[in-house]
Structure 1
Amino acid sequence: MQATVTDHRCDVAVLHLKGELDADTAGQLHGILADLLERPVPKIVVDLSDLKFCDSVGLSAFITSKQVISARGGWLSFAGANPFLVQLLETVGLSRYFAIFPEVDDAIAAAQL
């Protein structure tokens, strides 16, 4: 998995993920999210448009981070998920727990509301 972070207006960080998120790469994701959680009010959009696969270990990294983010008054949302990832999030019930947007710009715009 490759990961990059870009900052956008409204103090929103966009985490771009590419490749496969699984047990072998989840540690890398934990490290990146830990850095983003250092922000006073973490606002994170995870761009899934280039993520091809995610397993339960990867999902657990997002769940753990969301708990910390919510406690600090921030949020974490997903954008650009392919049909496989959308179905995965719906199947495990996370589509009710995370906001899922079609595009990154949609998620950033929602941050301004």
Structure 2
Amino acid sequence: MRAIITEHRPDVAVLHLRGELDADSAGALHTVLSDLLKRPVPRIVVDLTDLKFCDSIGLSAFITSKEVIVSRGGWLSFAGPRPFMAQLLETIGLSRYFAIFPEVDDAIAAGQL
């Protein structure tokens, strides 16, 4: 993965992922998510717009984090997946486990309800 950019909005962190999320880059994602999990009520939107590829190791980072986030009353949503990512999330059943939105602002608005 070329970059993980964290944007802090009021009460929400937005992770912008770029490139490929695989075994080589999952460690960087785990580090960023661990830092965000230190918030009292973590609210995270993962922007998938520029993510070109994701393997099972990358997906496991989100699954593991979500368990902690939900236990603290927070949420983690995805936004803007490319067709490949949308199909991957649907095929492996994660579209039922994570809320997926077309845009980051949509995810933020839904989380504030």
Asked whether the two chains share a fold, i.e. TM above 0.5, the reply is yes
Q: Which runs of 5+ in 2 are unaligned?
A: none
Deviation at 1:78, TM superposition (A): 0.1
Match of 2:7 in 1: 6
The 3-state SS of whatever aligns with 1:67 is: helix
2:25 and 2:102 mapped to 1: Cα distance?
25
| Structural mapping, 1:80-95, within 5 Å | 80-95=80-95
2:111 and 2:92 mapped to 1: Cα distance?
25
Match of 2:40 in 1: 40
Match of 2:69 in 1: 69
TM-score (norm: length of structure 1): 0.97
Deviation at 1:112, TM superposition (A): 1.8
- How well do the aligned residues superpose, as a CA RMSD in angstroms? 0.6
2:42 and 2:107 mapped to 1: Cα distance?
14
TM-score (norm: length of structure 2): 0.97
Q: Which runs of 5+ in 1 are unaligned?
A: none
Aligned length: 112
Match of 1:31 in 2: 31
Deviation at 1:59, TM superposition (A): 0.3
**Percentage identity across paired residues of the two chains:** 76
The 3-state SS of whatever aligns with 1:7 is: strand
Match of 2:18 in 1: 18
**Structure 1 residue runs of 4+, over 2 Å off?**
none
Structure whose residues are more often helix by fraction = 1
1:102 aligned to 2:64?
A: no
1:96 and 1:112 mapped to 2: Cα distance?
20
